[in-house]
Amino acid sequence: MKAVIGSAVLAAFRFLLGGCSAQTTELTPSPTTTPGADESTTVSVELSDDGITADGQALSAQSEGPVQVGQPLYNYNAASEGSSATAVIITQPGTYRLSGTLSDGQVAVDLGAEALDDPTAVVTLILDGVDITCSSAPALVFSQVYECADTQAKITAAQVDTSTAGARLVLTDGSENALTSTSAGAEGALTTAVSLNLSGQETGDGLLSVTSSSTDISGAVHLTLNGGRLMVQAQGAALQVQEEALSVITINDGKYFLNGGLSGTGDGAASQGYLVVNGGEVVALAAGQGLSATSGLQIQGGSVLALGSTVGPVDPGSRQAVLEWTFPQQQNLGAALAIESGSGETLLPYTTQRPCSALLYSAPELTDSASCTVTVNGNALGSANAAE
């Protein structure tokens, strides 16, 4: 690990050794694999306010099969007025391709309590141009499928294997998808009671936009992001997992814009256990911390920019360089930030999208620079030199 000597008053500037891919603040495509999606037996589900079809067959409350309608909403906000939302429930393992629009509805996955211990109880949802809004509950819920984690044991390491998780989301290449919850009392727009994998396909340019009046994406155990593009706007935390000393958020690849705490409180990504970035590109904005982890934040690769009122400590087990900077005063919306190397090369140009008082930045270029300078609107605030 490298120590850093900073020359700016009221600024913290720290480097940790390592390196990987380059930083971008745009949600550009990122190639990745699609684990566990068998499209040869995929059920095509078309969503519409006029009715739901599965493989072209119209569904009713009397329909039998893996996709059912006419059931109560999951995680319903009882404080809401009476809801006429359409609930679409997936009840059998398999792969389901979702498309179409629900202006007030929900898709839920529930294979029954016995599924939690059944490794074959796996549901893959392929999002292919789906737009779901729910006024009184989450738009998408994973309730009961196979849980790959031992939920009775505390984690002893930051790296977890969720490759066999029963809850899987895949973003179709070239698709634009949206999940929205307008209920402030709902748990989020996308909630899962089990470990969840999110992946892209070959080109990795599928987009999922998630918007909520509370937390956006809320998980109970592990959340692994393997690819695709994710844009999150939340009044509370943009992304969170909540099992204390158990949960892990892992980012392996993809492009992620996490904008949390729009109500004035909340983090960009928050884990009650570890938060690990192994690759991909992450921009996290927050009223609180851009990235927050109770057990530890590790940056092993990829590119990260986190802005908020404070920055949390980075675990010394991280292999990639990290810059942490606290501004002498809050920076306003539209401030032109830049991080420059000792040779004058601009490593990161960024225009603030909301006020912030601190930043965390990680990219391989930091390891190549003996010193860096932070500037705001062309004015240098300070510099730092890395030392062993």
- CATH of residue 349's domain is 2.60.40
- Within a domain: residue 67? yes
Residue 242 lies in a domain: yes
Same domain flag for 108 and 243: yes
Q: Which domain holds residue 112?
A: 20-288
DSSP 195: -
> In terms of pTM, does the model score above 0.85?
yes
List 99's β-bridge partners, or say none. 46
Token pair for 220: 């109970």
Contact assessment for residue 286 and residue 261, using Cβ atoms and an 8 Å cutoff: yes
35 Cβ contact partners less than 8 Å away, ≥ 6 residues apart: 163, 168, 197, 199, 226
CA 323 – CA 301 distance, rounded (Å): 14
Residue 275, both tokens: 């938060």
**Is residue 299 situated within a structural domain?**
no
Confidence at residue 8, expressed as pLDDT on a 0 to 100 scale: 25
Pair 106, 226 in one domain: yes
Are 84 and 12 in a shared domain? no
Given this model, what pLDDT does residue 168 score? 98
Return the pLDDT at 370: 58
Same domain, 209 and 262: yes
Are residue 235 and residue 344 in the same domain, yes or no? no
**Is residue 308 included in any domain, yes or no?**
no
In a domain, 313, yes or no: no
Q: Could you tell me if residue 301 is inside a domain?
A: no
One domain for residues 225 and 82: yes
Verify that 7 and 39 share a domain, yes or no. Answer: no
pLDDT tens for the chain, 388 residues: list them: 232 323 222 222 222 222 222 233 344 444 444 455 666 689 999 999 999 999 999 999 988 899 999 888 988 766 555 567 889 999 999 999 999 999 999 999 999 999 999 999 999 999 999 999 999 899 999 999 999 999 888 888 898 999 999 999 999 999 999 999 988 778 889 999 999 999 999 999 999 999 988 888 999 899 999 999 999 998 888 999 987 778 999 999 999 999 998 888 889 999 999 999 999 999 999 999 999 999 999 999 999 999 999 988 898 888 888 888 899 999 999 999 999 887 888 888 999 999 999 999 998 777 655 578 899 999 998 876 432 2
Q: Are residues 283 and 192 in the same domain?
A: yes
Residue 250 lies in a domain: yes
Same domain as 208, residue 169: yes
Q: Are both 158 and 265 inside the same structural domain?
A: yes
User: Given 244, 272, 288, which residue is the final one in a domain?
Assistant: 288
10 shares its domain with 67: no
Residues 215 and 355 occupy one common structural domain: no
Does 257 reside within a domain?
yes
Question: In this structure, how many other beta carbons lie within 10 angstroms of the beta carbon of residue 231?
Answer: 19
Structurally, the chain folds into a number of domains equal to 2
pLDDT of residue 2: 30
Residue 336 confidence (pLDDT): 96
